Amino acid sequence: MKRLICILFCAAALVACRGGFTAEEREVIYRGEGDIMRVMSIADTADSLLLRRECQPMVEQMVGSEELQTLCRRMLATVNDPENEGVGIAAPQVGVSCRMVAVQRYDKQGAPFEFFLNPEIVAMLGEKQLGGEGCLSVPDMRGEVMRAWSIVLKYRDLDFVEQTDTVNGFTAVIFQHEVDHLDGVLYIDRMEK
């Protein structure tokens, strides 16, 4: 029992002391040619295991790093790939197990993509609505999912400043989908039967 407690304490300390991207994450961030990254797919066993893992929080030491800038640029290129476009993407979908998402803000002029570190949905407002969803990591499938149409989101921006935002409409649905990825949950887990 003491050994188990010691192992759990050491694991928690390792996570708490995370000072930046791991060597494996850096390798993924810089792997391949061009900016479009390989998207993890549930069709691949190793990918599926990564997609089902709870992601580690981003820490301030990551902000401003070349790795974070490269990851943002490459995630944006990946989600905008004309051959496989999306409206949001989470870091684990490209093989980086960090709590970071990019979401297309349909609730803002020009529908820009924005990045969010350690996003957390702190409230779901109003009734949930049924809507169609798909996912870059679940190829050739769509399903109906109940989602809140309005949420309160707490996150850190790319300067690591804590922010709170109320998000409505389709953009709120995208956030719920992407934040689920950070907890190892896929939309197919929430599909209406």
What separation in angstroms does the CA of 70 have from each of 26, 29, 64, 127? 10, 7, 10, 39
| Residue 178 annotated as catalytic | yes
CB atoms within 10 A of CB 150: 15
d(CA 168, CA 171): 6
DSSP at 159: T
Neighbouring residues of 119: CB distance < 8 A, sequence distance ≥ 6: 99, 101, 153, 154, 155, 175, 178, 179, 182
Among 33, 60, 178, 192, the active-site one is 178
CB atoms within 10 A of CB 164: 11
Residue 178, classed as helix, strand or coil, is helix
Helix (H) or strand (E) holding 25: helix 23-30
Query: Pairing between strand 162-168 and 138-156?
Result: antiparallel
Q: Which residues are catalytic?
A: 178
